[in-house]
Structure 1
Amino acid sequence: MTSIEHSGGTGAQLDELNGFQNPGFGEHKPRITDSDPAAERTAERQIAAWFILSMIGTVWFIVAYFLFPVGETLTQVRLHNTAIGLGAAAALFGIGIGIVLWAKNLITDVEVVEDRHDIAGSEEDQAIALEIIDQAKNESGIARRSLLRNTLIAAVAIAPLPAILVFRDLGPLPGDALFKTLWGPGVRLCKDIGMIPSAEELHPIKASEVTIGSAFHVIPENLVQEDPHAADAFHGLDEKAKAAVLLMRIDPRELNTDPEREDWGVDGIVAYSKICTHVGCPVALYEHQTHHLLCPCHQSTFDVTNHCKVIFGPAKRPLPQLPIEVDDEGYLVAKSDFTEPVGPTFWEINTRETSA
Structure 2
Amino acid sequence: MSHDMSEEKLPEPHGSAGEVADHGSPFADPGLPAHEPRRTDIDEKAASRAERQVSLMFVVSMLATVGFIASYVAIDPDKIVYIFPLGHVSALNFALGLTLGVALFMIGAGAVHWARTLMSDVELPAERHPIEASDEVRNDVIEQFKTGAAESGFGRRKMIRNTLIGSMALVPLSGVVLLRDLGPLPEKKLKETGWKEATETKPLQLINMNTMQPMKPEDIIVGSLTFAMPEGLSTHSEDFQQRIAKDALMLVRIAPEDIKDDKSKELGFEGILAYSKICTHVGCPISLYEQQTHHALCPCHQSTFDLADGARVIFGPAGHPLPQLKIITDEKGNLVATGDFAEPVGPSYWERAR
TM range (shorter): 0.3 to 0.5
TM-score (norm 1): 0.45
TM-score (norm 2): 0.45
Higher RCO, Cα 8 Å, sep 6+: 1
